Amino acid sequence: MAEIENRKKVSPEEEHPRKAFGLAAKDSSGVLSPFNFSRRNNGDNDVTIKILYCGICHTDLHVIRNEWKNAIYPVVPGHEIVGVVTEIGSNVQKFKVGDKAGVGCLVGSCHSCDGCENNLENYCSKMILTYNSIDIDGTITYGGYSDLIVVREHFVVKFPESLAMDKGAPLLCAGITVYNPMKTFSLDEPGKHLGVVGLGGLGHVAVKFGKAFGMKVTVISTSLNKKDEAIKTLGADAFIVSSDPQQMQAAMGTMDGIINTVSAKHDIVPLIFLLKNQGKMIMVGVPDRPLELPIFPLLMGGRILAGSSIGGLKQTQEMIDFAAKHNITADIELIKADYVNEALNRLAKGDVRYRFVIDVGNTLTPA
Write out pLDDT tens, residues 315-361.
Answer: 999 999 999 999 999 999 999 999 999 999 999 999 999 999 999 99
Model-level pTM? 0.95
pLDDT, tens only, 15-57? 999 999 999 999 999 999 999 999 999 999 999 999 999 999 9
Residue 5 has pLDDT above 60, yes or no: no
Q: What's the maximum distance between 2 C-alpha atoms anywhere in the chain? A: 63
Distance of alpha carbon 175 from alpha carbon 164, whole angstroms: 14
Average pLDDT (127-141) is 97
Query: Three-state DSSP class for 332?
Result: strand
Percent of the chain with pLDDT over 70: 98
Q: What is the pLDDT of residues 88-110, one digit of tens each?
A: 999 999 999 999 999 999 999 99
Q: Enumerate residues 6+ apart whose C-beta is below 8 A from 54.
A: 78, 80, 81, 82, 143, 144, 145, 169, 357, 358, 360
- What phi and psi values does residue 55 have, to the nearest 5 degrees? -75, 155
Could you please state the CATH topology (level 3) that the domain comprising 174-307 is classified under: Rossmann fold (3.40.50)
pLDDT tens for 197-213 read 999 999 999 999 999 99
Answer yes or no: is pLDDT of 3 > 90. no
Whole-Å CA distances, 214 to 22, 133, 191, 193, 194: 41, 38, 6, 10, 10
pLDDT computed for residue 10 by the predictor: 86
Q: How many CA atoms does the CB half-sphere of 72 hold within 13 Å? A: 21
Residue 45 DSSP SS3: coil
Dump pLDDT digits (tens) for 213-246.
Answer: 999 999 999 989 999 999 999 999 999 999 999 9
Dist CA 89 CA 253 (whole Å): 54
What average pLDDT does the segment 179-202 reach?
A: 97
**pLDDT at residue 137 is higher than 90:** yes
135 pLDDT higher than 70: yes
Distance separating alpha carbons of residues 241 and 300, to the nearest angstrom: 24
What pLDDT sits at residue 87?
Answer: 98
Angstrom distance (rounded) from CA 105 to CA 113: 19
- As a whole number of Å, the end-to-end CA separation of the chain is 31
Q: What is the pLDDT of residue 98?
A: 98
145: preceding bond cis by omega (within 30 degrees): no
CB 323 within 8 A of CB 163: yes
Number of H helices, E strands in the chain: 13, 17
Exposed e or buried b per residue across 143-156, where buried means at least 16 C-beta atoms within 10 angstroms of its C-beta: bbbbbbbbbbbbbb
Domain boundaries, the chain: 18-173+331-359, 174-307
* CATH number at 18-173+331-359: 3.90.180.10
Phi/psi of residue 75, each to 5°? -110, 120
The yes-or-no answer to whether 18-173+331-359 and 174-307 have a common fold is no
pLDDT band at 9 (very low <50, low <70, confident <90, very high): confident
Residue 39 has what DSSP assignment?
A: E
Separation between Cα atoms, residue 135 and residue 113, nearest integer Å: 18
Indicate if the pLDDT at residue 8 is higher than 90: no
pLDDT digits 0-9 by tens, 282-327? 999 988 789 999 999 999 999 999 999 999 999 999 999 999 999 9
pLDDT, residue 6, reads 52
φ/ψ region of 94 (left if φ > 0, alpha if ψ in -120 to 50, else beta) reads alpha
Quick one: what percent of the chain has pLDDT higher than 90?
95
Q: What is the model's pLDDT at position 367?
A: 72
Q: Is the pLDDT of residue 4 over 90?
A: no
Instruction: Give the separation between CA 63 and CA 73, rounded to whole angstroms.
Output: 10
What is the overall mean pLDDT for the chain?
Answer: 96
Rg (CA), the chain: 21
